[in-house]
A = this chain, B = another copy of it.
């Protein structure tokens, strides 16, 4: 990247290079430890130029979260074709998700690890993305319920809980897959699909798991 330092290039291009460098640095070092010097050097620009374009470390981090969140959401959306059956839609969505997080491990670390714990404006960006994806998953579960002609039987809160479980499982598996050599995006997607779909499938088919009868209520929540 140093080679392009002296060339004139449009602001938008240079800004993306700064964001590339920032995502890599924040993802690998963490928000606190990342320095603006390091980011500027990696981007092949001067530190004042980073401040001129992106204002502050906080604004730069926000821009990173926003860009990575938009890219991930877009990848998942693009993977899902609404005219397919629900299970196929979920499979395509999971594959798109794990393919994207595998190809962008630093972006995923920024979103999954960094964004939600350094205070409110950052956490809010992450939460907005997570809610958008959870809403997409909720629609998928409702579509599956419609296909199984069972939508009046599945209460709204149950669907919200299932979507939350699926999103959490996907987040966890993405971090695990990125940290485990040899696990491909397709394998991670297949593992979660097996786990999730067979479970949702039984649920839709009216075969929930039944909790045992319990006389002891002492430690019940």
Q: Which residue of B lies closest to A185 (CB)?
A: B221
CB of A159 to closest CB in B, whole Å:
10
With CB as the reference atom, state the residue of chain B lying closest to A177. B161
Minimum distance in angstroms from A187 CB to a CB of chain B: 7
Per a CB cutoff under 8 Å, which of B88, B98, B199 touches A200? B199
Report how many copies the assembly holds: 2
A168 part of interface (Cβ distance < 8 Å): yes
A212 at the interface (CB under 8 A from B): yes
CB neighbours of A114 from chain B (8 A): 117
User: Given contacts A198-B199, A211-B91, are A165 and B193 in contact (CB under 8 A)?
Assistant: no
Residue from B117, B161, B202 in contact with A188 in the complex, judged by beta carbons closer than 8 Å: B161
| Residue pair B220, A95 in contact (C-beta under 8 Å) | yes
> Does any Cβ of B come within 8 Å of A203's Cβ?
yes
CB distance from A196 to the nearest CB of B (A): 6
Q: Does A169 contact B (CB under 8 A)?
A: yes
Q: Is A190 an interface residue (CB 8 A)?
A: yes
Cα separation A136 to B57 with both chains bound (whole Å): 41
Q: Which residues from chain A sit less than 8 Å from chain B, CB to CB?
A: 30, 32-33, 79, 87-88, 91, 95-96, 98-99, 102, 113-114, 116-119, 157-158, 160-162, 164-173, 176-177, 180, 183-203, 207-209, 211-212, 219-221
